[in-house]
Amino acid sequence: MVFIHDTRLPHVLEPGCYHDPGWYERELAAVFRPGWHCVATLDELPREGDFVTRELFGAPLLLRRAGGQVRAFRNVCAHRFSALCLAPSGRAASLRCPYHGWTYADDGALTCVPDPASFASPPGKSALIGRVKLTAHPVACAGQLVFVSLAEQPAPLDQWLGARTHELVTRLFSIDYQRVLARTIEHPCNWKIPVENVLETYHVDELHRGWLARHPRLVPVFDEQIEHELGDGFSEYRDRMGADFPPYRALVRALVGPVPCRYRHHHAFPNLIIGETPVLSFLQVVTPTGPASSRSLVRLYLHRGAPARAWTAPLRRLVGAAASWFLNGVLREDAAIYEAVQTGVRGSDRGGVLGAREERVWAFQRWLADSVTAP
């Protein structure tokens, strides 16, 4: 195994960092509010007028496709604060508030006020129409991933993600891939608990006895050829998943041709997680919803086939269903431990310790501690 370290490492973050409201606010200010966050995918908004609603750090968001472009607005009417849409998704020919009927153009500009005479402009004040707009938030896409920022002038998306992560998301979630699973999972724990859980394979034997640990030929997490990379703003785990398992090799060959069997797990700090195999791309974004609660956006994409061959369609359907079933099992087993860890960090009277196998957790914690405490 190619680890960077061969000794144990300090658990950089104190238990309080997993529940203290003051620390949580500092995390939001230092690493979340300035950044970009994947909140949806373009395939959720395929047609004009399609919308989804989301919540990001307490801000209700409305994302809608209009004029071939996805825009994000604060989902709050400028009149008396009603949400414009409450449904998680749908299609709206126009942006019309359900309370008193104020209507907004595709770009968020107020275009219609019922009984406009009662809102006549007082002397010296400009008219509402022509001046009032919904609050818009910056939107940028990479592949089919839609990112939103709550910052007024965020750094460009590719700069925020970094070159390695930007290349990965652009390639792994391109239109060559088709979504086969979309889930939102609420976690009763601080956002770092699900993130740190996926950064180490140390828990696999104990927590995944029923799934991953039972298939060492397909999932070689205790193989000799694992490698870690601790990069600038990211970390990676790489192995040869499936390379020694002939049925898997044959499947990959049928779907995408003679490409090497490899698995890459990439964590872009703070909360973007990507999994890559030759045929499947996995995305998990763990967003904080409070000091001791979080939400995961989970997506699984399957390569459409290279070159696209009609005869592989049934096979792809089968692979999509089997991979979703497998992933759901793994997510369920992981989620089963989160509440116990949250209970533990609240009650701990000491710091923790990390093994060399957990060095990606250590790298993440060091980055977070540096980012939050930077002057």
Closest approach of Cβ 102 to Fe ion, in Å? 47
Closest approach of Cβ 197 to Fe ion, in Å? 6
Can you tell me the distance from the alpha carbon of 73 to that of 69, in angstroms, rounded to the nearest whole number?
A: 13
Task: State which of residues 11, 26, 79, 346 lies at the interface with ligand FES (CB under 6 A).
Answer: 79
Do the Cβ atoms of 64 and 50 come closer than 8 Å?
Answer: yes
In the complex with ligand FES, the residue whose CB is nearer, 78 or 273, is: 78
In the complex with Fe ion, the residue whose CB is nearer, 207 or 356, is: 207
Can you tell me the distance from the alpha carbon of 112 to that of 101, in angstroms, rounded to the nearest whole number?
A: 8
Stretch that binds ligand FES, among 76-84, 157-165, 240-248, 255-263 (CB under 6 A): 76-84
Binding to ligand FES by residue 77, rule CB under 6 A?
Answer: yes
Closest approach of Cβ 364 to ligand FES, in Å? 42
Can you tell me the distance from the alpha carbon of 76 to that of 61, in angstroms, rounded to the nearest whole number?
A: 8
Number of residues interacting with ligand FES: please give it, by CB under 6 A. Answer: 9
Residue nearest to Fe ion (CB): 334
Residues of this chain, 307-336, that bind Fe ion according to CB under 5 A = 334
Query: How would you list the strands of the sheet with 280-290, edge to edge?
Result: 177-187, 293-303, 280-290, 272-276, 263-268, 234-239, 227-230
In the complex with ligand FES, the residue whose CB is nearer, 80 or 317, is: 80
Q: What are 60's strand-pairing partners?
A: 55
3-class state of residue 5 by DSSP: coil
Residues 6+ apart with CB under 8 A from 74: 59, 60, 61, 62, 134, 135, 136, 137
Stretch that binds ligand FES, among 55-63, 78-86, 131-139, 180-188 (CB under 6 A): 78-86
Can you tell me the distance from the alpha carbon of 3 to that of 11, in angstroms, rounded to the nearest whole number?
A: 17
Q: x/- string (CB under 6 A) for ligand FES, residues 100-139? A: xxx-------------------------------------
Can you tell me the distance from the alpha carbon of 41 to that of 185, in angstroms, rounded to the nearest whole number?
A: 16
3-class state of residue 255 by DSSP: helix
In the complex with Fe ion, the residue whose CB is nearer, 62 or 280, is: 280
Task: State which of residues 21, 29, 58, 80 lies at the interface with ligand FES (CB under 6 A).
Answer: 80
In the complex with Fe ion, the residue whose CB is nearer, 113 or 219, is: 219
97 binds, among ligand FES, Fe ion, none (CB under 5 to 8 A by kind): ligand FES
Radius of gyration of the chain (CA): 23
In the complex with ligand FES, the residue whose CB is nearer, 95 or 280, is: 95
The two structure tokens encoding residue 108: 């968020």
From the list 247, 193, 214, the residue with the least C-alpha distance to 329 is 214
Closest approach of Cβ 33 to ligand FES, in Å? 27
334 binds, among Fe ion, ligand FES, none (CB under 5 to 8 A by kind): Fe ion
In the complex with ligand FES, the residue whose CB is nearer, 36 or 102, is: 102
Closest approach of Cβ 373 to ligand FES, in Å? 42
The two structure tokens encoding residue 279: 């045929």
> Cα dist. 325→159, 207, 215, 251, 332 in Å?
35, 17, 15, 17, 11
Residues of this chain, 329-368, that bind Fe ion according to CB under 5 A = 334
The residues that touch ligand FES, with contacts defined as CB under 6 A, are: 77, 79-80, 82, 97, 99-102
The residues that touch Fe ion, with contacts defined as CB under 5 A, are: 334
